[in-house]
Amino acid sequence: MVVSKEIVIGISPGIHFRPAEKITNSALEFDSKVSIIRDDYNANAKSFLNLIGAGFRYGEKVTLICEGPDENEALERIRKLLTGGEP
């Protein structure tokens, strides 16, 4: 099964080094695949360089998709990080 949620990036000014590191480290704790999609760009949340390269900006709408055995937990934790909250 796959779970997804459309969210708005709440990290100002966007996903830069420190938040990307937190997101990547959190995503790596899960067995599920974790992706963040904007338009036609699909970023693997388990890849620091992929997140930095995506250039996600504050206020931008993205879709968070998790697929795997712990997908619900992964979705909630990464959602909190992307919206500016702590897990």
Q: Which residues are catalytic?
A: 16
61-67 and 41-44 strand pairing:
unpaired
Tokens 């968070």 locate to 64
Strands (E), 1-87: 2-8, 33-38, 41-44, 61-67
